[in-house]
Chain A
Amino acid sequence: MAKKSKNKRRDFLQLSTVTLGAVGTAAFIWPFLKSMSPAEDTLAAGSTEVDISAIEEGQSITIKWRGKPVFIKKRTKDEIDAAKMVQASDLRDPQDDADRVQKEEWLVLVGVCTHLGCVPLGQKVSDMKGEYDGWYCPCHGSHYDTSGRIRKGPAPKNLDVPPYTFLNDNTIKIG
């Protein structure tokens, strides 16, 4: 009996030592892992205000927001109609055009392909715009439509819509 209880005590000591050691090591590793996450100043990267009064219909500009390109496009009537015609249920990432814009002539997108992060072509008149007349990613061949939705190619999701507000008719605040 005495021997058994002694063993139990030893087991307990061993287990608690190992457990405490493991917890201690994990607690020690955490700050190192966490130091690799974006720093506070990176997180604090602010918002950008854009003057959109000079953008003509059918024209599109690229601005930089948090290090990423953001596309702001004033869509033509045809482009809006084309975007509205599509049944959301037919899409890989189903979303109605109305859910992607605040004012239907203004389309604001993060210009980063959701496949592997390239910047899609389609901002310049001379660019390839893909089979759906929106944007085309040259890296691995993803096609986006006039609402920035994925239609063909390897990308899994639509182009992101960043948070933005219209400060007035001529100014958008992104972020």
Chain B
Amino acid sequence: MDKNRKVHQFKNPVLNWIEFRLPIISYFKKEYGDYPMPKNCNYFWSFGALATITLVTMIVSGIFLAMNYTPHTDMAFDSVERIMRDVNYGWLMRYIHSNGAAFFFIIVYIHIVRAMYFGSYKYPRELNWILGVFIFLLMMATSFLGYTLPWGQMSYWGATVITNLFSAIPFIGEGLKTWLLGDYNVGNATLNRFFALHYVLPFVIFGVVGLHVAAVHVHGSNNPDGIDIKTNNDSVNFFPYMLIKDTVAMCAFGVAISAVIFFGPNLMAEVDNYIPADPLVTPAHIVPNWYLAPFYAILRAVPDKLGGVLLMFGAIVILFVLPWLDRSKVRSCNYRPIYKWFMMGFFVNFFALGYVGMLPAEGLYLLIARVGLLYYFGFFFIITPFVGWIEKPNKLPLSISDVYAKNIAPDIGGGEKGIPSPAMQKDTNL
């Protein structure tokens, strides 16, 4: 170790003792105290923090549920009912966990929409985007595994349908499926391993989230105008400014999720999952959780087993290469007059796919799913590269403070370009 290493000095000797041995305090001060956030970040930038909080909530409520849950086909359903009826506050734990999963996806979808619309996936944050898509994949796997555990009809048949996706793979498919299930159909071996994996995957997610956050802190957060921080006048410290802003967002989120947990805990649940699993009877309509429905719609839109499976997984995998499909150097859609509308169209289309994914795959719904499928892939393969090539973006502001100089200069005075007004100056010696 370098003897000349500069050790941060604090007034508190205990902190100094720790800091000398593990410079964790100066690390947190750097990454969460003085960390510069673009000052134009709006509430869309709170959803990363909200997602982290939700992940922690899910892990905590999940651990307490696991203390009363039994992963056995004969007892799983009853143990969940016991949690609901007899365990003290068991109902609360379970409703937090089941609705928390849905809200986790709502938050992450908004987080992804933010990243797509404002071009956060572009240079130099491509790896950050890739880690994010990886987290999204892990979340989908974890939610699927967790949905199996209550061992209701939807649990059982959802697990059957999803594991059968693997049997579409030529030659090794059937063997792979049997290996995944540990049996020839979804059974006790399956439930046991799904429980083990459902317990461990959130910690893997937690680790990847750590990398995701570390990666964004290297080049700093993107912002609604998609331009880099150039001077101190373009940013505010994370503490206290963004922390306070995130706290406000968290309060609003707390109100929303509490409203559902306490007044409509089964709004997003399927009635059939309160019927114990029966391997001999398939429910009339198997529906996935709504947050996976867009991908389910893609699966069903294709009249071929292998083709449907490939396109469904392809719809997720395509996200990995988005940074290289988009040819435009301008990040924010606010400055992209054409692509902006296609991007909004993509969000609407994704929503529509989710809607028809919850309905039977026939007639008009099937047609909508097929059109949606075409737009989904057309957006990535044709629209995104092509529009980036032909579009003439609007003129970008010179700097982030320049945005404010134009907008609010008349009110506070002295806000000429490059000459920051006193109101915007921040004390860099905090």
Using CB atoms and an 8 Å cutoff, list the residues of chain A in contact with chain B: 33, 36-39, 42, 62, 64, 66-69, 112, 115-120, 137-141, 153-156
Contacts and interface: CB of A to CB of B under 8 A. Distances in A.
B185 A156 contact: no
Contacts of B168: 156
Contact of A67 (B157, B165, B187, B362): B187
Interface residues of B, number: 35
B279 A140 contact: no
Interface in B183-197: 183-185, 187, 189, 193
Contact of A69 (B183, B279, B303, B304): B279
Given A112-B185, A115-B164, A138-B286, 15 more contacts: A37-B179, A38-B181, A62-B280, A67-B183, A68-B185, A69-B280, A116-B305, A117-B164, A117-B185, A118-B282, A119-B280, A139-B157, A139-B161, A156-B304, A156-B306
Contacts of A116: 160-161, 164-165, 305
A138 B285 contact: yes
B157 A140 contact: no
A103 B303 CA distance: 34
A154 B303 contact: yes
B232 to A, nearest CB: 51
Contacts of A153: 303
6 contacts: A38-B178, A116-B305, A117-B163, A119-B281, A138-B284, A156-B168
Contacts of B185: 66-68, 112, 117
A38 B184 contact: yes
Interface in B261-286: 279-282, 284-286
> What are the 10 A-B residue pairs with the smallest beta carbon separation, nearest first?
A117-B164, A116-B164, A118-B282, A116-B161, A119-B282, A117-B160, A69-B280, A67-B185, A156-B305, A139-B286
Given A117-B164, A118-B160, A118-B286, A36 B305 contact: no
A68 to B, nearest CB: 6
A111 to B, nearest CB: 8
B161 to A, nearest CB: 4
Contacts of A36: 179-180, 182, 193
Contacts of A137: 282
B182 A154 contact: no
B229 to A, nearest CB: 46
Contact of A155 (B161, B280, B305): B305
Contacts of B362: 141
Given A69-B279, A119-B280, A42 B161 contact: no
Contacts of A62: 280
A117 B161 contact: yes
B308 A139 contact: no
B305 A64 contact: no
Contacts of A119: 280-282
A33 B184 CA distance: 17
Contacts of B281: 119
B300 interface: yes
Given A36-B179, A38-B189, A67 B184 contact: yes
A115 B282 CA distance: 14
Listed residue (A64, A118, A153) with the most chain B CB atoms within 10 angstroms of its CB: A118
A112 B160 CA distance: 10
B315 interface: no
B169 interface: no
Contacts of B138: none
A155 B95 CA distance: 37
A138 to B, nearest CB: 5
A137 B282 CA distance: 9
A33 B160 CA distance: 21
B361 interface: yes
A150 to B, nearest CB: 11
Nearest to B280: A69
B280 A37 contact: no
A68 B184 contact: yes
B144 to A, nearest CB: 14
Interface string B211-237: 000000000000000000000000000
Contact of A115 (B178, B181, B305): B305
A152 B196 CA distance: 39
Contact of B361 (A38, A66, A117, A141): A141
Given A118-B161, A118-B286, A39 B189 contact: yes
B69 to A, nearest CB: 21
Contacts of B303: 153-154
A119 B161 CA distance: 11
B178 A37 contact: yes
Given A115-B164, A118-B286, A140 B300 contact: yes
